[in-house]
Chains A and B, each alone.
Chain A
């Protein structure tokens, strides 16, 4: 069974600073991994996804993530934080069986200080 762990339920950065949100996965098969963002009182929106085509994946709003099999990680980064990046971020892995459902990490709330 697949699982996802997000280290740090809250991360605070200053505007213009590097954003690093951590995600580690557990999977017995090559995983399909996703990062979603949730703005207040909104649904989840896809930021980016890893589907084995390339280990460095670029997403929307300047975010990117690197798949590292040796570390079972898929950390999300952005070089320079903007106030509008304040949101909750979820890492997820697809169940590769009946239903193809997503299994989510606990989420990381990103706060951006002016």
Chain B
């Protein structure tokens, strides 16, 4: 059982380049999330989705876009990369509706450096 799979694990981007971080889950979870982790700041929510075709902004959405065409996949797009987007990105999922008290399952993370 793979759980939540993120690719790539590491990436170096130049300022102004774009890229897509991939996230896939095989648990048939409705809810999916993208977080970024910066030292001493915990994890901040970038975007989330409650089902295919439905996405919404989190706390720090500027500079990012997402889509959710299937239940399994939730890619995160960075347009015009900036040094401030250097971070570790985590994708997570949890069962939908009525899942307030259930835990989220996390991928292994993507470490992105923008130079």
Contacts and interface: CB of A to CB of B under 8 A. Distances in A.
Interface of A: 4, 6, 9, 32, 34, 36, 41-46, 49, 51-52, 90, 94, 96, 98-107
Contacts of A52: 101
B81 to A, nearest CB: 22
B80 to A, nearest CB: 26
Contacts of A100: 31, 94, 99-100
B104 A102 contact: yes
Interface in B35-73: 35, 40-45, 48, 50, 56, 58
Shortest 6 CB-CB contacts between residues of A and residues of B: A104-B42, A43-B106, A51-B101, A44-B106, A104-B43, A106-B42
B90 interface: yes
Interface of B: 4, 31, 33, 35, 40-45, 48, 50, 56, 58, 90, 92, 94, 99-101, 103-104, 106-109
Nearest to A50: B101
A98 B56 CA distance: 10
19 contacts: A9-B40, A49-B103, A52-B101, A94-B100, A94-B101, A99-B31, A99-B33, A99-B48, A99-B56, A100-B99, A100-B100, A101-B45, A101-B48, A101-B58, A102-B33, A102-B45, A102-B92, A104-B43, A106-B40
B43 A34 contact: no
Nearest to A42: B108
A18 B109 CA distance: 31
A99 B50 contact: yes
Given A43-B90, A43-B106, A106 B41 contact: yes
Contacts of B40: 9, 106-107
B48 A107 contact: no
Contacts of B31: 99-100
